[in-house]
Amino acid sequence: MARKVVGFGEDDLRALAGPRSFERGLGYLDAVSALEVGDGSVTASVRGTDVYVVELTLGEDDVVSGECDCPYGQEGNFCKHCVAVGLTVLRRAKTIPPQRAAARARASGLDAWLTALSRDELLTLVREQIADDRGLRRRLELRAAAARSDLGTVRDRILALIDPRPFARYGYIEYADAPGYAQQVAEAAGALRALTGGGRAAEAVGLAEEAIRVLGEAYEAIDDSDGVVGRAAAAVADVHLEACGAARTDPERLAEWLVGQVLGDSNDVPDLDPLDYAEVLGASGLACVRQLAAEARRRRPSGWAERYLMERLVRAEGDVDALVALYAQDLDPSGATHLRIAEELESAGRADEALRWAERGLRDCAAETYVDGRLVDYVCARYAKAGRPDDVVGVRRDRFGAERSLAAYRHLRAAAQAAECWEAERVAALAALREDARRERGRRYGGPVLIDVLLDDGDVDAAWREAGGLADDRQWERLADLSRESRPAEALAVYLRLAERLKEPTGERAYEHLARVLVGARECHRVLGTQEAFADHLVGLRVELKRRRKLMSVLDRHRL
């Protein structure tokens, strides 16, 4: 098999990107510019929502990889922009080998030139570069301070890098300024890593913790929609973990700091997880984290962060009973917590206990109007699997009794039909809904559920009988839509009444609604053979509302 000229092909790009991103990449071929071929990489710009920079790299065995600074690419995905650059390279495959050779020659020539320079010449060159490149100067200043163990300067430079104020022109870092700030935070992370590598891990720990504090306090005033600052802050957290390991940080002190960070007010970024530090903490440190988390939970049992931390720790221990006990301390009135307990027990192979907890959830929440539908579905699914259709009907009947809604009626209907007892259940359900409608007459916002369920059953005649004095406009319109052929005169009366009300509101949605009602009226006139009457009505309406030009265009579009 012949070797590929550029080391990869369309199939490789499709496999990396997936079918969707590959197809979308085809539409960006004309957006690729500034293609630059290096020895083992290709860089280019791609214009999309913004101008993005793409770099494709050929690793060992010509395995291609790609990076892009678009939001999707920054999540580690081989995006459509990478595909576009890859396809552009394939289109220019014949020119790539000589360009790569030229890149190697340039790199070799540069290396030879630098090697031939004297010390003074190199110093002059570096000084010229740092005079023009602020970022390079900061990085070299940090390296110099670290090399001479000038921790005061290192600290000042790192804190200067993560200081948000130079980017917060209005007291807030805007979206456009977030990448620049993120780059400085990443530089700070690099400096901390260099400090650790230089044998000053203990100092790196303290500086990293100070940096994390500043980032946590500043983050709420940053528009980090693309997550660039969050990723840079995560790099600082990674360095802190590395430094803690290298410095052999005291486990109890580290445990106290971690719990304080997780439970503190500024814990959005970086998102620290004490379990990531398990190896550094050791058994004694993890026990301290557990104790501190339990104490915090007792002090503030309703706290979300306290509950989440405790749950993470207990789950990591693998003790299902302890996890169940933790959940049981704070049972949600909707039954959602009962469901979580049931799912944990079922995952542990304890299906009977799981069902008992789910059943308990239904009992505990029986009087609640809202019960988590997933809990009800869970119990019904297990009853059905066990061949207990009557019990499924019982659960759905109880829920319908507590929550008289169309959704609850549909669930009851499906269960009763499966158990072949729907006729009796329907009679009882409709009787309850009629009583609701009678009791709430004149006091209800919107029409009664009774009308909705009759329409859902397809019992249009019964819906007409019950609608008088009860149905709202939405239900009347639905009734008319279903009755154009069978009850054209009654449906027409509904449409005309609705059209009269819809003449007042303005706006696109109101005009579209009026047009739909008029289309329904036109259909009724067609069935009745009174098209001329409709034409006269429409002419009168157009004359009356002629000043509403948008309405006239909507009517024209519907051929009215």
Task: Note the pTM of the prediction, 2 decimals.
Answer: 0.66
Q: pLDDT tens for residues 216-257?
A: 989 989 999 888 899 999 999 999 999 999 999 999 999 999
Q: How many beta carbons lie within 10 A of that of residue 88, not counting itself?
A: 22
Task: Report the candidate in 320, 290, 293, 318 with the shortest Cα–Cα distance to residue 307.
Answer: 293
**CA-CA-CA-CA torsion sign (347, 350, 352, 355):** negative
Answer for the pair 32, 93: CB distance below 8 angstroms, yes or no.
no
How confident is the model at residue 1, as a pLDDT?
Answer: 30
Answer for the pair 162, 213: CB distance below 8 angstroms, yes or no.
no
**Tokens (6 digits) for 350:** 């304890």
Measured CA to CA, the distance from residue 59 to residue 349 in angstroms comes to 45
pLDDT at 385 over 80: yes
Q: pLDDT tens for residues 413-452?
A: 999 999 999 999 999 999 999 999 888 765 556 789 999 9
Answer for the pair 463, 451: CB distance below 8 angstroms, yes or no.
yes
Q: Give the mean pLDDT of 525-545.
A: 94
Tokens 């400085």 locate to 184
User: What is the rounded end-to-end Cα distance, in angstroms, of the chain?
Assistant: 67
How confident is the model at residue 441, as a pLDDT?
Answer: 63
Beta strands in 388-497 (DSSP E): none
Lowest mean pLDDT among 165-179, 310-324, 338-352: 165-179
Task: Report the candidate in 30, 421, 74 with the shortest Cα–Cα distance to residue 227.
Answer: 74
* Phi and psi at residue 150, to the nearest 5°: -90, 80
Q: pLDDT tens for residues 253-309?
A: 999 999 999 998 776 778 899 999 999 999 999 999 999 999 999 999 888 889 999
* Rg from Cα positions in the chain: 35
The sheet with strand 41-47 has its strands ordered as 32-37, 41-47, 51-58, 64-68
Question: If residue 68 lies in a helix (H) or strand (E), which one and from where to where?
Answer: strand 64-68
